[in-house]
Structure 1
């Protein structure tokens, strides 16, 4: 663990892995809820946690540097279920990368319980972990210029759902009608760090055709 000062009242904690970042984020939230930590914002990322609005960052930095991150506790609330059609245009490519039929990609993905590691890229976009490392897939060599909202995609160790149409280089394996970001909803984001997530298949497995256009750069 490496603790770096950021301005006058913030710290950036660098961890060795995404799992450690998730665990530290959960522990810091627990401390804040118990009144043991005063921080305005606690923001996780792939391998870091940012704490902002601290009353005594120096003391906390020393404490964190000397501590061991406990395992992340299980979430008590039920998993958020997201309906999915395994109809993405990259399903066959992912199946070939995994060395399994397309139907098996759907079975493996739907049988996995995911956890939101962190959020970013766009409002409502959550980076979900849970698939074993052997199922990591590379990003597309050439990103698409337009990925439809609701596209369920894989990249590296993560699963994500595009909350709105945008460019993107992830491998598209499915689609959902779930609304990931709604300004009229409280909270606006359907998924937040630490949330458990399951994908529930609906409809047949198989691509319905190409999605968007492919960029040239």
Structure 2
């Protein structure tokens, strides 16, 4: 993670991946730094824009607190469970099992686990 200056009233937070970016953006949306005007997420970054240059150091410290807390800033809360109905009766099921050197029952168990 890197914090990069972005003009007089913004800082760009570079993260390792999109998952970290989503979690940080969600966290900062729910717990914004004082003076936050805008949060702009991109693939692996979040731009934090504040009202005035005087508020920028506090915004940087705010982000650093979440990062320093380690996994505490990563949302561990409710995640939506998506159920995908699956049927294991396709004509190619035995071909796929054979290709993977397993029985169809083992393929179904491994896939559904």
Task: State the TM-score bracket (shorter-chain normalisation).
Answer: 0.5 to 0.7
Query: Displacement, 1:28?
Result: 0.4
2: CA distance between counterparts of 1:54 and 1:75? 33
Instruction: Using the TM superposition, give the Cα deviation of residue 43 of structure 1 relative to its aligned residue in structure 2, in angstroms.
Output: 1.2
Aligned to 2:37: 40
From the two aligned structures, give the one with the greater helix fraction: 2
Provide the residue aligned with 1:26 in structure 2: 26
**How has the CA–CA distance of structure 1 residues 62 and 71 changed in structure 2, closer, same or farther, with 3 Å as cutoff?**
closer
Deviation, 1:54, is 4.1
Aligned length: 75
| 1:58 alignment counterpart | 57
Q: Distance in 1 between matches of 2:36 and 2:6?
A: 14
Q: Is the 8 A contact 1:28 1:37 kept in 2?
A: no
Task: Tell me by how many angstroms 1:75 deviates.
Answer: 6.4
**Higher Cα Rg, which structure:** 2
Preserved contact between residue 39 and residue 52 of structure 1 (Cα < 8 Å): yes
Indicate the SS of the match to 1:57. Answer: helix
Alpha-carbon contact 2:15-2:44 (below 8 Å) kept: yes
Structure 2 vs 1, CA of residues 53 and 46 (structure 1 numbering), >3 Å: closer, same or farther? same
Deviation at 1:58, TM superposition (A): 1.6
C-alpha distance in 2 between matches for 1:51 and 1:28: 9
Root-mean-square deviation (CA), in Å? 2.6
Change over 3 Å in CA distance of 1:39–1:75 after alignment to 2: farther
Name the TM-score, length of structure 2 as normaliser.
0.54
Output the CA distance in 2 between the equivalents of 1:22 and 1:43. Answer: 11
Instruction: Give unmatched runs, 5+ long, in structure 1.
Output: 80-99, 101-217
Q: What are the ranges of 5 or more consecutive residues in structure 2 without an aligned counterpart? A: 83-95, 97-113
SS across alignment from 1:40: strand
Corresponding residue for residue 49 of structure 1: 46
Moved over 4 A (4+): none
User: Under a length normalisation based on structure 1, what TM-score does the superposition of the two structures give?
Assistant: 0.30
Using the alignment, how far apart are the partners of 2:44 and 2:51 within structure 1?
20
Contact kept, 8 Å, 2:39 with 2:47, in 1: the verdict is yes
